[in-house]
Each structure stands twice: as C-alpha cells, then as structure tokens.
Amino acid sequence: MEQSNKEHRKKSEKATAKKKLHTQGHNAKAFAVAAPGKMARTMQRSSDVNERKLHVPMVDRTPEDDPPPVIVAVVGPPGTGKTTLIKSLVRRMTKSSLTEVNGPITVVSGKRRRLTFLECPADDLNAMVDVAKVADLVLLMMDGNFGFEMETMEFLNLAQHHGMPRVLGVATHLDLFKSQSTLRASKKRLKHRFWTEVYQGAKLFYLSGVINGRYPDREILNLSRFISVMKFRPLKWRNEHPYLLADRLTDITHPQLLESKGKHIDRKVALYGYLHGSALPSVAGARVHLAGVGDYSISHVEKLPDPCPTPYFQQKQDEYEREKMKEEGAASTGAPRRRKRLDDKQKLIYAPMSDVGGVLMDKDAVFIDVGTKNGEGASFVPGQEKGEGEKLVTSLQSAERSIAESFDGVGLQLFSNGQELHAGDEEAESFSSDGDVSDQSANGGRQNLRKPRIYGKSVQEADADVDGLVSDDDEEFEDFDGEGDHQRRMVEVDFPAENGDLVEAQTDSEFELSDHENDIWTRSTASKLEGSKARRRKWDIGKLIYMDNITPSDCLKRWRGEEEDEDENRSDAEEDEEFFQQKDRSAGTTSGVDDDLEKFKPHFETFKKLIAKWPDMEQIKNRFVGSSTLRSEKQGNDDDDADGADEDEAYGDFEDLEAYEGQESEGENDSAQSSHNDSDDNGSDGSFADFEQEEKKDLTTEQERERNAAKKESLRLQFEMEEGDNFKEDDPNNEYDTWYELQKAKMAKQNEINNAELESMTPEQRQKIEGFRAGSYVRIVFENLPMEFVENFNPKYPIIMGGLLPAEMKFGIIKARIRRHRWHKKILKTNDPLVLSLGWRRFQTLPIYTTSDSRTRNRMLKYTPEHSYCFASFYGPLCSPNTTFCGIQVVANSDTTGNFRIAATGIVEEIDASVEIVKKLKLVGYPYKIFRNTAFIKDMFSSAMEVARFEGAQIKTVSGIRGEIKRALSKPEGHFRATFEDKILLSDVIVLRSWYPVHIKKFYNPVTSLLLQNKTEWKGLRLTGQIRAAMDIETPMNPDSAYTKVERPERRFNGLKIPTSIQKALPFKSQVHQMKPQKKKTYMAKRAVVLGGEEKKARSFMQKVFTISNAKDEKKKAKNQDARKERLKKLAKLEEIKIEKDKERKKRYFSENGRKRQHADSGADSGSNKRR
Amino acid sequence: MSTTRYATFQGCRNFRLLIVLSTLSGKPIRVEKIRSEDLNPGLRDHEVSFLRLMEAMTNGSSIEISYTGTTVIYRPGIITGGSYTHQCPPGKPVGYYVEPMLYLAPFSKNKFSVIFRGVTASHQDAGLEAIKWGLMPVMEKFGVRECALHTLKRGSPPLGGGEVHLVVDSLIAQPITMHALETPQISSIRGVAYSTRVSPSMVNRMIDGARKVLKSVGCEVDITADAWRGENAGKSPGWGITLVAESKKGWRYFSEGIGDAGAVPEDLGTQVAYELLEEISMSAVVGRNQLALAIVYMVIGKEDIGRLRITKSQVDERFIWLLRHIKQIFGTEVFLKPVDDADSDDLIATVKGVGFTNTNKKIA
C-alpha cells in the first residue's frame, strides 16, 4: 500500500533577520531581547547542562610525563569472544599475534599511551570484583544474540560501587542474525538497554563475525582508535591508594630451603608490574593487600627499567643520552627525528605470562620455547645441532667446572669499579688501589652494572655516587666502627670532585698504616680513604638527621663543622674506645634521666648573656614592619652576627666545653661553610649534582640560559603562592569566575609546585620523599607468602596488589548504610555471613542490620528491609567513610544458582572501635496484690538481685498506666513492689520495656580465592539456612513466636452492688439513688390515633398519582427491553462476520509465514553449533 | 587478625609526641627503658595521667604498662573527643596536657570540649597564653579555625586550683598544605602579664620591665595587665608574663615566664622581653616552640608538597629527634634545602604529606 505522507509546505515569506527588523511599526532593534522568557529558559537550560558536567574537583596524581599504562579489562560471559578481541587488538597494535592470552598484556598504543589488556575470567565472581577495582576502561562484551547476561549485569553493578570506570560495550556474534531488520532491531534494543545501565549515549561497538580467528580489521581499527583517544577522570579510591596489577610472578625462595624443608614452607615471591594510583611509599615494610591472598608487608621494592616504554619516553631518553654524549665530548648524532606515526620498532608488547612468540622472560633469564623434547625436529639436542647458534647454546649447557672450582681465584671486590682483591696480594693492593680506581675510570671498559635506561635522573646513578652505602648500612652499622664508617661515607660524597686531594690523603694515611700494623685491614682502608681531616667536610643535614646511629648532638656538630680537633690525631685504637664511649653516652641520653626531655620552653641563654647580646635591636630590626628600607644595608652585618649567635647557641645547647677551642677559627669556618653552601646551591638545581663542578667551566650560554630560566621558574612558583595569598580566595573580585575554577587553579598550582620541588631533588632524595611514582615498573618482593599462592598460580586470574592507608590497617567496627540489591531475590538476615568487597579487600563477615530509633539508639533488625536503606555494623578492617562497597552471599560457583549474586550495596558511614546496638526485650509480670497506687508484681524476675538491677525502671500496664519499680520483696523471691500513677487492675499485665545489648561477632574471614587450586570454589562460612539444609535440621520454632489467632474471652464487668446494710448507713448525699419502675401506663401510651378530614383526602390523591406514574414506568421498561434485544441480535451478527474474517486471515498468514519461521529456527541452531 | 608490629622507642623523650603520632597514624608503639637507669624508674605521675587522658579521648586504644613502669605498649584507637574533665596531678601544669590535645582535636569524631583542672603555669611547660596566642594561631594557619582555650580559673604552682576549658569546634578532614617561604614581618608586640593572689602592682612592674626593653623595637607594644583575685585566682600566689610578637599574616612568636617567690618582677619582664627578641632572631616563620606542631601538621597533610622556612638555628637536637620520631612512625622524611636567597642561611623544610584524612568523622 502506498503511504501517503503529508506534503511539505513551503514557508510563504522569507523570514530573514533583515526583514524582521521592521514589521508593522515594531522596531526589533529597539528591544534588546525579543523573547525574554524564552531566552531565560535557554540560559537556564544551558547553565543546567554545564553544571551537570562538573564534578567535584579532584587532584589527578598520575604523573603527566610518564603515566602508567591504561588498564583495559575485557569482561563478559563465557563464549562472547573476549580472547578473540584481545588477540585482534594486540595484533592491530603490535603486529604480533598471540597464541594464548595469559595475564596482563601491555602494548604501546600511541606516542604517550600504553594499554594493559586484561582478560577477566568469565566465571569467577572474585576476579570480576578485583578487575572492577583496577580497570580504567572496561570493554564489556556481550553476545548480540543473548543480550545482557547475568555476569554482565553483575559486573556493571560491581564496577558502579567501586568507582565506575569508563565502560565501552562490545556486542559480538552479530553475523548470526539472518535478516537485517532483526539485526537492526536487536542492536537498537541492546543499545538502549546498555544506555539505561551505563549512561545515556554510552558507546556500544558492534563486531560482526570472526575472520582468521580475529574480528574484522576495520571494526577493530575503529575500536582501537576510540580507545587510544579516550580520556579518564581520576577516581577517588584509586587516586588515594597505590596499586599494581602484577604482570609477572616469580618464586624466589631459595631452592636450598625448598629442598631441605620441603615444599610447604612460606615462599618469597616477587611480583612485577606497573604502579598505578598514588605513589608507593619507599619505606620498607609498607603494608599492602594482595587481593585473594591477604595483607602482607613489602619486603623491598625495586624500580626496574621500563620493559615497554612509550615512544615519547624513549625519545626523551635519547635526548638525555645525546646530551650526555655531548658532555663527554663525543660527536653528536644529529637532531632527533619527528615522527607522525609509530615505528614498527616502537610497537612494543610486554606480556611475560603469555609467551609472545614463544619467549618467556624470568627475572634474569629468558626461556625460549624449543618445541617438544626428543620429538621429531627437536632443537637444542646435544650432538644434533642444526646451526652454529644452537651449538653455542648446547655448549653452554654442559658445565665444565664445579661450582667450587669456578669460584677459585675469585677475589673480593670492594668497590663496584675497583679491582678484585685476592688473599695473597693484600698489601700490594692496598698501595695501589686508589690509583687503579682512577685509571680504570679513565680508560677501562665497563665493569659495573649497566645503567638502565631511565628517563630523567636514574636512581642507580645516584646510588652509585652519592648514597650507595646508606640504605644497607642501617642494619649492619652497629657491627662496625662508627667513625670509620662515617668517613668512608664522606669519601663517597667527595670522591668525584676532589681527586687531587685523595692522592695526598693516601700518602698521609700510609704512615698511619705503618704505625699500626696489627690493625684490621678494613679499617685502615677506611681511614686511608678518608682524606685529610683538616679539611672541613660538608655534611648534608638531610642525611645526617636520619642516620639513627649518630646522636642528634653529633649530627649538629658535624653539620656545623665543629668536629673536635683531637679527632684528627686520634689513633685507630683510641677510636675504637671512643666509639664505645660514644655509644654509652648516647645510651645515657636516650634513656633519659632528666625530665627536661619534654619541656616546652626552648633553650635560652642566661639572663646576663641575653642582656649582653641585645644592647640594641639592630640585629632583628629588619624583622619589623616599616624597617624594610634599612634591611638591605644592614644585611651584611646581620648575617655575620646571626651566625655568631648560631654558634653560641649550638655550644650552649650541647654544653660542649671543648668547643671553645674552636672559637678562634670560627670566622674561617664560616667562610668555608658558606662556600660549601654556595656550591651545594648550584648542585641542587641541576640534575647531576656531582658533575656540576666539572661542567661549570664548559657551560654554553644556552645551558646557562636554561639554568637561569629554571631558577626563575622556581622563584615564580614561590612568589605566586606567597603573593597570591591563596588565590585571594576571600576576595570576591578575584580573577576566577566560579568556585570551581578557583579550586582547579589551586590544584594546578599545587601540582606545579610539587613537580618543581621534586624535580629539584636528586633522584635518590626524590624517591625517599615521594616514594615510587605511578607509572614506574617495579619488582616487589614479599617474604612470607603462603605456598599455595605459588603452587596454585594460574595466570588467567589477575593478581592485584593494593596499598593500604594507615586507617585501613586497623580493625574495628564499621557502620555502613546498606541496602539489599533490588535484583537479589531474598532479604538478608542479621548475622548471616556476607562477603563484602570493601576497599581492596574481599572478606566474609557477620553484619548486624540496625535501624536508628529517632537517633537515640541503634535497634537491631532481624532482616534487612525490603526496599529501603538500613544500617549495618560489622567487624573488619577499617575503611574511610564514604567508601562504597558490595556484598555477596556466595562466591563459590558450585553453590550459585542462576540468580543475581550481588546481595547488597552500601556505603561506609562511620568507623569506630565499638558500637552500641540493642534489641528490644519486654519483661512481663502480673500483679497479685493491689493497694491504691501500689501493687505487688510477680513473675517478672526470678531473684531479688535482678529486681535490684531494675530499681527505678519505668514500667507500664498494657492499658497504659505508667509506673516504677520500687523495691524487691523479701519473701517470694523475685517479687517486687511497684507504684503506678493510678490504681491498676488485678487483670492488668505489667510490661517492662528494656534494651538488650547485642554484640557484634568479631568474625573476619578474607576470601583467599587465589590460594585455591580451583579459584572459583572458595567457600567460607555457610549461611545458617545452608547449614540447616545440609545437615537436615529443622528450623527451630519457638511456639511462642508463632502467630496464632488471638482469642480474647469476653470480659464481664459486674455492676456496682452495695449491700443494703451499708446503704442504710450512708449519708443521703452518698446514697445510690435508684427509683422503682413505673407501673401505671402514661397518657401517651394509652391514646388512639384516627385519620380524617383534609389529611385523608391528600393521602388518597397522592396514592392515585403514584399509581399512574408506576404504570407509565412499566410501559417504558418493556419498550426498552425490546429495543435492547433487537440490538444484541444485530451485534451477534456482526461478531460472527468478524470471527469469520479473522479465521481467514490467520489461515492465510500461517500458510505464508509458518514455513519461514521453521527455516529461521534451523538457522539459529546451526549458528550456535558453530560457536561452541 | 591484626598483626602487632610496633615501632619501638627508647627512653621517655618526646613521650607525649610519640603517643600523639601513634594515635594519628594508627600505628602501635612500644616505648622501652623509660628512666630505667633512674633511682625512681618508670613512668611518672603526669605521664600516667596523660595516658589516662588519651584513653578517655580515644575509643579502643589499649595501654599496657609493664610491672616496673619502664615499658609502655600503646595501641591506638579512634579519636573520639567529646566532653571530659581531666584532673591534672600537680607535677605538671595543664599546658602539658593541653598541648598534645591540639594535635588530635581537629581530627576526632566529636568536638573536643575538655576541662583541665590543676596548676596552670610552670617554668617549663606551655602556659595558657602561650597556647592561646602562640599555638592556636599556628593551627589556624592549617585550617583549624574554631579552637579556643578559656581560662576559668588560674592556679599558680605549687597548689594550683586552676581550671581551663579547651574547645575545638572545627573538625577538619586534613590540614591545609603549607607554603611559608618568606620570613614574616612583625607588626606589633602584645602581651599579657597576670598575677594571682598577689598585689596587682606586680603586674605593672613586669610590664614596665618588658616595655623598657621593647621600647627600642619601634613597633606597637601593648601589654595587658590581668590581675586575678578572689575564688578564681587559685590557691597559691604567683605571677607571670607572656609576650607575643605578631605579624599581619597571623604568624606569632612568643616567650613566657613566671615568677618565683622572691624574684623581682621587673627582672622577669626584662628577661622575657629579651627572650622574645632571641626567639625572633632564631626563628623564621614559626618559633622553636611552635615548630613541632607545624611540622606534624605538615606531615599529616595531603599528598602534596608543603614548604616551611626555618632558620639554621632551629635545627637543634629537639628538631632532629622530632624528625626521627616522625620518620619512624609515619615513614616520612623532611627534606631540608637552603633557600635560594644568597644572603640568608635559612632552610626550607619540604614535606610531602602522608595523605592522612580524618577517617574518624562520621559522614553526614
């Protein structure tokens, strides 16, 4: 049939702006706004839309220049094509194909972006929970034929309560649709359902069939483009915690231990991966949570060179190296090339668990898959090598020397670039070692560890020349001679800059060595290396402060350069003693004999000294307002004076009598110190603190400019913060329009300051202050992990390490607002175990559901309400308020039904060490003797003691008369006397409403699913109902609790009867007056009424009128009935015709369409067969 | 389940600070060898009383004191705050107890309202004005706006009889990140001289003594006389003076002193004035007695870098102990670097906050 559309009507007149300006005497220009109402509405709307876009401003702590890879989780029910998608994407991005997808796969996707693909195991709820917590982007796979499955819904809900990452839908298996229209319809249906779940307009990709084991290239290209430009907002939880998705795991337990103690010992395990979120603190022993394993302390962390660096990073690296080469005088290799697209070389892939191209990497080994052993065409078989390469490898495999032999003749190497020392040539070595060191550094090949490629300043570099000893010294220090070690450290500091001095020093110390021949070798070496002591050393106060083996007073002395002079002449033997003395002294001070250790008032000089010191105010004149003009002139003077004061103060503080000897040389000290200061100032600006001096000579103007610019920038940062005075927050006329902008600007500024400050530190300092930044590839070692973790390791299941904040390490009671999930079939019962996914952890606990009785008490609920929030209190590791969580009743796959598994969702409201929850308890008693307002009550208590506990308690009768418990009666045990506001009845029931405290069971059972062989089968505490069902126990029923029909016997109240004897005695006023019943009939009862006259006439008339009217009605009714009959007949006829027609149409339809459908059914069957 | 891993400390140095830091960080600590070499070993009355106070202000904290009293194990709970009255033993003044509360009060579950009864002044511990005019402004700089210390009664040593009321109404999530890089300019000097149960002329004599010294400073000097009499003046006679130098931006330096029997009031005034000058000369942004508070607040700040200018002379033994203890409990190091200004040898203390948030507070 032809569809008839309404024809388009052209607008008759041209509605241009020009014409509209003047119409019918109305001058549009004369009015600013033509339609104010409409304009207001549009403005309102646009501002609404803008406002809705805003989020609470949050600091993004991911570093800008080298962010961690984006975690792309591919999630979906089994058979939706997750692996295929990952393979296709990897193939698309790196041109390498995977045989198997195991563990996270990191690929470079753009100049500054890397992606980590992670396949979420389809059938494991635990893994889904973990993935939801770390994924930045979720590719939600769904089968186009089935639409949304339970797993999809569960995952979406999990993700929603853990911060909601970005979600992209991917519908697959769309090639199975035969007709285009159904395909289109189901696409639309899917899309709209997806929108309601995620957000309106969420992107849903459609992938048609599989070609060569991959999705069509064009579709994958689109998807990968979409992914690579996607932006991510920081999520609160992840912005506050460091976390890591392990892409590699190695068991580094000593094999000897395994051999000797068996396999069941705890393992030492190293996890590798990119750090995400905030920085991981660099202090040893930081607590982290391994999802599915438990809480553990990190033994140590090590930053490794990035296995999959971005092209941007590599470029920076190259630039850095070129710079370095230039400094060293080598010819430059030309300007860097600018590239528009990624080189094939740069399309890196890192998937250590997935054996890309048959290569599997371990900590310090690479395993190559060589095919089957002894099979046909096996490689690397000794004697049957196929080429030179293979021969080389097989020859390596046969060891010629035993281990003992191979260590024969190996000497001790003191410094990484020093020569090996052998037992025999000790003395000879000691004479020449220093010379050798310098020689080697000049012309020798590389002998130390290769410097890994790290952008910016490398950590190891700093370690080598600044602080190599500090970290491991802390433990072993006590065994050593304190002095000697400090000196060695000093040498390390000074070494690169002052080679000349060192030679002298060496000759100096040779004499010493000859003097004390019996000294142990190490010490002499140390003293030999220490250099001349007359030279004042520059100590870094930052380091000194944190050397726990040096007492603070020593720290200060060293820092201020007041080392005692006799130190120089002291022989080593004396030093030894001195060490012990020192130790004693320090012990004395730390043990604290005096109370002054905590005094608030700082140390001041004595009154007289103060008077002498402050003859006038010149010294601090510049500190007062209005004297700034004076400041510049006075500055020189002031500084000197201030220094003097410092010295004085120092001496006074430590009551060091010997220090006065040094007073003479004070001026000189100061100058030396200040020069040191200056050099240090410069040093901290640049990135290579130690090369600074050498470089200084051959600085080009450009470099100088650069340095100046950097200096300026840092100054600007300082000033802006200071001058801006917090961005003039209180000033309404500041340059920021909205509060939002102001906050943004503040954060940006703070971020800038952070970066500037951190840049100015040496890498090693930076690591100490900042920790391990997100984006760095680290190896994290755990000491005592359960053996099951390693033994049952399966790369398919993600290993996630989440850092814990201080509060999260404590245990306590969490009070949360909770609601049964509306898709979960059953309400939840108090004290039934519930697996909560809160923070990083998944644990089983026993929540008690409560409600708040008008904010006065928390009353226990037996069950959660059907549709509203209630409170839940449970024991577990604390988590900061405002954290959302999910609850699941059963995680084991074998126990799940097809139903929705997420039982509850909630948010943490409050954490505490204890909580007061009560349940209502009504005690019931009966009166047995009643006085006026007093009654004796029985059956409420069983002993006088109990009564005593409740003395003064409010009680109430059922009828509402209030009273109070007074005192226990002595005779029948447990009976008591109570008073009421009115007289009660003997039949009344007395109720005492009391609140009985409920204690939370301290049950915490972490879900250790990763320790199981079968990861999906973790079973914790069972629900009460499950236990009863399993053990075939009937649910106990208290007959009192059963609801029965209430049967109330009819109560009879007897009338008041007063004995006649009393009645007689009563005064008249109080007598009950009762009259006798009347015997005579009254007039009204007796009279007869007769109708007549006018009234009679009227009545008969009315009767006639009514008769006529009734007859008329009768007639009308009969007529209507006839008409109705006629009409019904007509309708029946029509109906018959209609049925006939319908039948015919149906017949026609089924004869046409029935066949088609049969066909389609068979088609669908074949499709599903293909897929499985 | 909770693993007990203590941070262990030797000696009673910074005892209150350790307890406070432990409470803030949630890390259990163990303090050993408390006066173990002393004739009278173990904890003193005031320390035990302080532990009691901590127990009252927190929920779920456990304190184990060894038989000899030389070892204390403290497992912190949750800071709850609330109303409480604390009887301070006569050994230490109320300042000894109030001072650590300033670290905890803004991070508690409920508002702090604690009444302290006892001696209100001593030679070594913080006096009332020192807290009110010296420490609370520092807290204000970190975002704790509504805190006050009301003096209900003054009680001079030895008998005391004073009563103060600490009210901290602002519960903040975390302190503001500090950036104080410039030494502030002092705009005026204020002070309070008080006396209890002695002639009010003492007060004026103290003021005269202080004024004589501060006359040449060249800015406004305003010292208030505050003579207490009657029931509110406590049980013993006594007098003292607190001087505060304040800048326009709200930074304060202060010094204080109290008079002994037989001391000359003018001398006390003069000495405290000189001490104030000394304090000013030695401090950059905060005074030495405010430094611990400022550093701790910086350490528990956001995960941003905060900066504070200090002078070289502020790096003393106490400062080093403070930093070491902070490192042991929080694992945070303070980075010291010289200021860019060539003709000043001040340092900038750079701290990255630990990202502490007040988890105790209930969400609305």
A1134-1159 confidence digits (pLDDT tens)? 999 999 999 999 999 988 887 666 66
In chain A, which residues have their Cβ closer than 8 Å to the Cβ of B213? 614
- Domain end, chosen from A282, A304, A326, is at A304
The two tokens of residue A1171 are: 């897929």
Asked if pLDDT for residue A593 goes beyond 60, the answer is no
pLDDT interval class at A584 (50, 70, 90) = very low
Q: What is the pLDDT of residue B8?
A: 92
User: Which residue in the set B125, B323, B362 is minimally distant from A909, CB to CB?
Assistant: B362
Q: What is the pLDDT of residue A589?
A: 40
Percent of all residues in chain A with a pLDDT value above 70, rounded to a whole number: 70
Selected residues 900-929 of chain A with any CB under 8 Å from a CB in chain B: 907-914
Asked if pLDDT for residue A605 goes beyond 70, the answer is yes
pLDDT interval class at A632 (50, 70, 90) = very low
Tell me how far apart the alpha carbons of residues B186 and B220 are, in angstroms, rounded to a whole number.
Answer: 10
DSSP-based three-state secondary structure for A392: helix
Q: What is the pLDDT of residue A1126?
A: 95
Quick one: average pLDDT of A67-94?
Answer: 93
* A590 touching B (Cβ < 8 Å): yes
Cβ distance A614 to B315 less than 8 Å, yes or no, reads: no
Q: What is the pLDDT of residue A731?
A: 62
Percent of all residues in chain A with a pLDDT value above 90, rounded to a whole number: 38
Question: How confident is the model over A464-510, as pLDDT tens digits?
Answer: 343 333 333 333 333 434 333 343 333 333 333 333 343 333 334 33
> What pTM was estimated for this model as a whole?
0.73
Question: How confident is the model over B289-338, as pLDDT tens digits?
Answer: 999 999 999 999 888 999 999 998 888 888 999 999 999 998 888 998 88
The distance of B241 to chain A (nearest Cα, Å) reads 14
Q: Are A763 and A457 in contact (CB under 8 A)?
A: yes
State the best of B251, B315, B334, B341 to mutate against chain A, taking most chain A CBs within 10 Å: B315
Domain ranges in chain B with CATH number 3.65.10.20: 7-179
- A87-91, A417-421, A807-811: range with lowest mean pLDDT: A417-421
Question: How confident is the model over A948-960, as pLDDT tens digits?
Answer: 999 999 999 999 9
Question: CA B49 from chain center: how many Å?
Answer: 17
In a domain, A420, yes or no: no
Domain ranges in chain B with CATH number 3.30.1370: 286-352
**Domain coverage including residue A497:** 458-562
* A607 touching B (Cβ < 8 Å): yes
- Torsional sign, CA A157, A159, A165, A169: negative
Question: How confident is the model over A681-703, as pLDDT tens digits?
Answer: 443 343 333 444 444 455 677 77
> Which stretch of DSSP H or E encloses residue A843?
strand A841-845
Pick left, alpha or beta for residue A505 (phi over 0 → left; psi -120 to 50 → alpha; otherwise beta).
alpha
Tell me how far apart the alpha carbons of residues B93 and B270 are, in angstroms, rounded to a whole number.
Answer: 24
Cβ distance A721 to B181 less than 8 Å, yes or no, reads: yes
From the list B97, B91, B99, the residue with the least C-alpha distance to B44 is B91
Q: Given the structure tokens 């006018």, which residue do they identify? A: A1094
User: Which residue in the set B25, B44, B343 is minimally distant from A639, CB to CB?
Assistant: B343
According to CATH, the topology of domain B286-352 is: Ribosomal Protein S8; Chain: A, domain 1 (3.30.1370)
DSSP-based three-state secondary structure for A411: coil
| pLDDT averaged over every residue in chain A | 77
CB pairs below 8 Å between A and B: how many?
268
State the best of A601, A843, A879 to mutate against chain B, taking most chain B CBs within 10 Å: A601
DSSP-based three-state secondary structure for A87: helix
Cβ distance A678 to B347 less than 8 Å, yes or no, reads: no
- Domain end, chosen from A738, A761, A784, is at A761
Q: Which residue has the higher pLDDT, A372 or A450?
A: A372
Cβ distance A545 to B256 less than 8 Å, yes or no, reads: no
Asked if pLDDT for residue A665 goes beyond 50, the answer is no
Range from A16-30, A700-714, A792-806 that averages highest in pLDDT:
A792-806
- Domain end, chosen from A264, A289, A304, is at A304
Q: What is the pLDDT of residue A94?
A: 87
* B71 touching A (Cβ < 8 Å): no
Going by their DSSP bridges, the two strands A1004-1006 and B72-75 should be labelled as unpaired
Q: What is the pLDDT of residue A343?
A: 75
Q: What is the pLDDT of residue A16?
A: 58
* B212 touching A (Cβ < 8 Å): no
Q: What is the pLDDT of residue A570?
A: 42
Number of domains in chain A: 3
Cβ distance B281 to A627 less than 8 Å, yes or no, reads: no
From the list A207, A205, A286, the residue with the least C-alpha distance to A241 is A286
Q: Which residue has the higher pLDDT, A388 or A141?
A: A141
Domain ranges in chain B with CATH number 3.30.360.20: 186-282
In chain B, which residues have their Cβ closer than 8 Å to the Cβ of A604? 255, 275, 278
**Chain B residue closest to A279 (CA)?**
B303
Cβ distance A812 to B5 less than 8 Å, yes or no, reads: no
DSSP-based three-state secondary structure for B179: strand
Long-range CB contacts for residues A157-160, cutoff 8 Å, separation at least 24: A157/A821, A157/A886, A157/A902, A157/A905, A158/A128, A158/A129, A158/A132, A158/A837, A158/A886, A158/A902, A159/A132, A159/A135
Range from A562-576, A616-630, A670-684 that averages highest in pLDDT:
A616-630
Q: What is the pLDDT of residue A562?
A: 60
DSSP-based three-state secondary structure for B168: strand
The two tokens of residue A1078 are: 């009347």
According to CATH, the topology of domain B7-179 is: UDP-n-acetylglucosamine1-carboxyvinyl-transferase; Chain (3.65.10)
Residue B216 CB contacts under 8 Å (≥ 6 apart), including other chains: A616, A617
Tell me how far apart the alpha carbons of residues A282 and A765 are, in angstroms, rounded to a whole number.
Answer: 11
From the list A906, A908, A903, A841, the residue with the least C-alpha distance to A877 is A841
Tell me how far apart the alpha carbons of residues A1063 and A1042 are, in angstroms, rounded to a whole number.
Answer: 51
* B285 touching A (Cβ < 8 Å): no
* A878 touching B (Cβ < 8 Å): yes
The distance of A71 to chain B (nearest Cα, Å) reads 24
Question: How confident is the model over A525-555, as pLDDT tens digits?
Answer: 444 444 444 344 567 777 778 877 788 888 8
User: Which residue in the set A646, A715, A913 is minimally distant from B313, CB to CB?
Assistant: A646
From the list B322, B314, B325, B250, the residue with the least C-alpha distance to B288 is B314
Tell me how far apart the alpha carbons of residues A1105 and A1117 are, in angstroms, rounded to a whole number.
Answer: 19
| Size of chain A, expressed as the number of residues it contains | 1172
Is the confidence metric ipTM above 0.85 for this complex?
A: yes
User: Which residue in the set A599, A600, A645 is minimally distant from B281, CB to CB?
Assistant: A645
Selected residues 159-178 of chain B with any CB under 8 Å from a CB in chain A: 177
Tell me how far apart the alpha carbons of residues A107 and A89 are, in angstroms, rounded to a whole number.
Answer: 10
* A672 touching B (Cβ < 8 Å): no
Integer angstrom CA distances of residue A370 from A288, A374, A390, A399: 38, 11, 11, 21
Tell me how far apart the alpha carbons of residues A210 and A220 are, in angstroms, rounded to a whole number.
Answer: 11
Q: Given the structure tokens 């204390």, which residue do they identify? A: B72
Tell me how far apart the alpha carbons of residues A422 and A1121 are, in angstroms, rounded to a whole number.
Answer: 131
In a domain, A231, yes or no: yes
pLDDT interval class at A406 (50, 70, 90) = low
Question: How confident is the model over A168-202, as pLDDT tens digits?
Answer: 999 999 988 889 999 999 999 999 999 999 999 99
Selected residues 299-328 of chain B with any CB under 8 Å from a CB in chain A: 302-305, 307, 311-313, 315-318, 320-321, 323-324, 327
In chain B, which residues have their Cβ closer than 8 Å to the Cβ of A751? 304
Task: Count each helix (H run) and each strand (E run) in chain B, helices first.
Answer: 9, 18
According to CATH, the topology of domain B186-282 is: Dihydrodipicolinate Reductase; domain 2 (3.30.360)
Q: What is the pLDDT of residue A365?
A: 57
Selected residues 73-92 of chain B with any CB under 8 Å from a CB in chain A: 77-78, 80
